[in-house]
């Protein structure tokens, strides 16, 4: 959804009103905002006065090939939670479970409410880290494993 949003904004010259995006996608603006928030957190988009605007990084992202997109996403994920902590756990332990990541995040006050469901974290990690080929996954043990 994030990649689709970025491509859409690029198709409008790099800037488009959020309400227009919602109309085009036949979505409620409130349903679109979490996707916009993720694109902003990744550094590919910014919102000003109701307009979604591609950043320089976002412009580079939409122009590059799929394998380069994965690399750019992987680097962006290293800077935001819960992925930053996931990468730290993989580096220090070699492997970890979503529950262990959940425990680490719950030690930090501002993450307690935001990341309150280990299953949600597990799904998010599967979706993003496996797509970007950042970390391997053992489905039997439900553990995330550092790539060599």
Strand pairing class (95-97; 135-138): unpaired
- For residue 30, pLDDT over 90 is answered with no
- For residue 51, pLDDT over 80 is answered with yes
The ranges assigned to domains in the chain are 2-63, 66-146
φ/ψ (deg, to 5) at 2: -65, -45
Q: How far apart are CA 37 and CA 40, in angstroms?
A: 5
Cβ proximity of 29 and 18 under 8 Å:
yes
Q: How far apart are CA 13 and CA 21, in angstroms?
A: 13
Rounded (10°) CA dihedral 42, 113, 47, 84: -10
CATH architecture of the domain with residue range 2-63: Orthogonal Bundle (1.10)
- For residue 36, pLDDT over 80 is answered with yes
Q: How confident is the model at residue 115 (pLDDT cuts 50, 70, 90)?
A: low
């Amino acid at each position: 959804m994030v990649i689709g949003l970025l491509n859409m904004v690029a198709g409008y010259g790099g800037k488009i009103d959020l309400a227009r995006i919602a109309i085009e996608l036949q979505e409620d603006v409130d349903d679109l905002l979490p996707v916009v928030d993720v694109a902003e957190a990744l550094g590919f988009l910014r919102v000003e006065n109701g307009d979604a605007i591609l950043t320089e990084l976002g412009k580079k992202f939409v122009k590059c090939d799929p394998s380069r997109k994965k690399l750019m996403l992987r680097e962006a994920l290293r800077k935001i939670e819960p992925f930053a902590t996931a990468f730290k756990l993989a580096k220090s332990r070699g492997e970890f479970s979503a529950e262990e990541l959940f425990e680490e995040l719950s030690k930090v006050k501002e993450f307690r409410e935001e990341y309150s469901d280990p299953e949600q974290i597990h799904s998010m990690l599967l979706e993003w880290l496996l797509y970007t080929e950042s970390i391997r996954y053992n489905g039997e043990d439900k553990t995330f494993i550092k790539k060599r």
